[in-house]
Amino acid sequence: MEVLWAPWRMDYILGPKPDECVFCIPEHTDEDEERCILLRAEHCFVLLNKFPYNNGHLMVCPYRHVSSLTDLSEEESCEIMKCVTISCKILEETFNPQGINVGLNIGEAAGAGIAAHLHFQLVPRWSGDASFMAVFGETTVIPEHLSSTYKKLKPLFDRYGK
């Protein structure tokens, strides 16, 4: 029998859910590595998903606590799309995926896990990555530890910093 090891999932499953919004980040950068923040732009930031669907699963969020695209300013909208594009470029050069799902779920009914704070999801994809484990076992196999992925991606995002 093979053992699948994904210890960070247990924190999400059993851990207390925070009272504050996980996407409302402090202005200081002291916690950026702990929070998996890869890039801080003027109006938004890029971070690794701590509970990824696939290796390299990223999110792009505005700093402002808004829940809909229509709540964003034109500057915020443009910068978010620029960060989504940069993120795709970095994912392509780092992980060589065969595709990338880029998505936005607006509202709980649309599947937003955290509906109160808008966030784009970027999930690198490879043919066959939805294996029997994902389909029948409701389990995702992530081949690289989150901290290793962070260390691999952070220097690439640093090229695009403020």
Q: Does 151 or 53 have the greater pLDDT score?
A: 151
* Mean pLDDT within 46-52: 93
Instruction: Say if residues 114 and 22 touch (Cβ distance below 8 Å).
Output: yes
Per-domain residue ranges of the chain: 35-157
pLDDT tens-digit map of 87-127: 999 999 999 999 999 999 999 998 888 899 999 999 999 98
The catalytic position among 57, 117, 119, 145 is 119
Closest CA to 23 of 3, 46, 41: 46
Is the confidence at residue 53, as pLDDT, over 60?
A: yes
Q: CATH 3.50.50.60: does it fit domain 35-157? A: no
Q: pTM value?
A: 0.81
Instruction: Say if residues 105 and 49 touch (Cβ distance below 8 Å).
Output: no
Q: In the annotation, is 43 catalytic? A: no
